[in-house]
Amino acid sequence: MTRVERIAVVSDVHGNMTAYDAVLADIDRRGITTVLNLGDVAGKGPRGSAAVARTRERCAVTVRGNWDDFLPRPDPDKNPASVWWYEELTPEDRAWLLALPLVHDMVISGRRVRFVHASADSVYTRVRRVHTDEEFDGMFAATELTGPGPAPSVVVYGDVHDAYVKTVDGRTLVNAGSAGNPLDEPVPSYLVLEGVVGGTARDPFALQVVRVPYDVEAEIEVARAAGMPELEAWAIELRTAVFRGRHAELGLVPDPPVR
Ligand SMILES: [Mn+2]
C-alpha cells in the first residue's frame, strides 16, 4: 500500500522571520515534516541571516532565487541598501546561498513536478500571473538551467509574490506566493502538495494554497530597530501588499508612520 504524503512549499521569505516562523508553525500543526523552499531567503527584510539558519534547519531542499544569486556576491557597485543586506549575512550564509541548486525535480503520483525560483530560463526571468502562451510553455521547457530529461507536468515557482494555480491542457503552473513579502494580499502564503512520492498516475494528487496571518507591526518594528534601509517601502508592502514601484503613483505613505 502506497502512502500519501504531504510536502509544504515556501518561497520568498526575504528575511521576514515573524512571518516565516508563523508559516512554519502552521506547517508543524498540520504534521507536515517535509518543507521545500523556492528561494529569495534573504534581502529586502531585516533578518536574512536568521532566515538562512532557519532554512538550513527546516528545509529539505532550497533552490536559489535572484536575491540569493546577486546579494551574496561582492560588488563595488552595490547600492547602499544592498550593502546593508549583504553585511547582515555571514560569509558562511553567503557561500551557502551561492551554492544552492537552480532546479529540483520530483515525481509525485506519477507527475513530474519541477521546482524553480522564477522560470526555466533563469532566476532573473520573471513570469507574472498574467502571461503569454509562450511564457507558459517556457516554464515547462528543457533549458540550460533545467538540463535535458522528461518534461514536467507541474511547475512550482515563486519570485512574483503572487500565489495562483493555472492548468492548461494537462499542465499545471503553480506559484507559491511569498511567505515573507506577499504582494497579492498582505497575508503570507505557502503550498501543500499531497500525493505519493515516486507513485504512479493511479495515485491521487492535490495541491492547496494556505494563508497564515502574522504580526505585521512586530515585524516592521524589528526592521526599524535594526536601522534597515528602505523601511518605509517595506512597511507599506507588508501592510498593503502593494509593490513599492507603485507606492508613489498611488499616494501610499506609511500609516501609522514608521519612526
Ligand atoms: Mn522575491
Distance from Cα 200 to the centre of ligand 1, integer Å? 33
Distance from Cα 76 to the centre of ligand 1, integer Å? 23
Say which CATH architecture domain 5-217 belongs to. 4-Layer Sandwich (3.60)
232: confidence class by pLDDT, cuts 50, 70, 90: very high
Query: Which residues contact residue 169 at a Cβ distance below 8 angstroms, ignoring those fewer than 6 apart?
Result: none
pLDDT in tens, 109-142: 999 999 999 999 999 999 999 999 999 999 999 9
Domain ranges in the chain?
5-217
For residue 210, pLDDT over 90 is answered with yes
Instruction: Give the pLDDT confidence score for residue 1 in this predicted structure.
Output: 54
Give the chain's mean pLDDT.
97
Distance from Cα 74 to the centre of ligand 1, integer Å? 20
Rg of the chain on CA atoms, in Å: 18
How many CB atoms lie under 10 A from the CB of residue 33? 13
For residue 258, pLDDT over 90 is answered with no
Distance from Cα 180 to the centre of ligand 1, integer Å? 9
pLDDT in tens, 136-167: 999 999 999 999 989 999 999 999 999 999 99
pLDDT (average), residues 73-97? 96
Distance from Cα 66 to the centre of ligand 1, integer Å? 7
255: confidence class by pLDDT, cuts 50, 70, 90: confident
For residue 201, pLDDT over 80 is answered with yes
Question: Do 228 and 206 meet the contact criterion of CB atoms below 8 Å apart?
Answer: no
